Amino acid sequence: MLRLSKVTDSLFISNARSACNIPLIQKEAITLCINVSMEQPFPFPSDNIRTLRIAVYDDPEEDLHKYFDTCADAIDKEAVKGGHIVVYCKSGRSRSATICVAYLMKHQGLSLSEAFETVRKARSVVQPNPGFWAQLEKYEQELKSKRALQIHKPKSLLQLFAKRLLPWRSHST
């Protein structure tokens, strides 16, 4: 069955066959296609659809982690503009699911398990391979560390200087 599975209001996940189906792409008003494969095609060329290829195999040894921020940020940027994004690979099970999960963790603030369940509710066959799952676990820890640092960082340079120049005064962060 040809279909694009809706993960969020702007994000879809799919296999390559469905993602290259022109009527489906038009129906969902797709504006960005992220192709997470070495050889799967893109849909028809169009001025209205941007494309991004992440050239990896569905192999646990592949380093998909190095693309998490690039893809998550591209998805978020397109969504903020009101665009619709489809992320796909050959079967729509492992590589594309991994990228969708990474996006949900980074930009929606979900845990790995919450993000995975969100994607699985949209497309029940998703199952990142063990190597990609381990990379998602690492990414979750990195995001937690970054968020913890941001919580303790002063909100402005003025607050930082105020704390140093006026140490006797209590300043909220």
Which residues does the annotation mark as catalytic? 89
- Phi, psi of 85, deg, nearest 5: -120, 140
Contact 46, 27 (CB under 8 A): no
Q: How far is 173 from 170, CA to CA, in rounded Å? A: 10
- Cα-based distances in Å from 54 to 63, 64, 66, 88, 149: 11, 8, 10, 10, 30
Q: Do β-strands 30-35 and 50-53 pair in parallel, antiparallel, or remain unpaired?
A: parallel
Written as six digits, the tokens of 123 are: 């497309």
Beta-bridged to residue 35, according to DSSP, are 53, 88
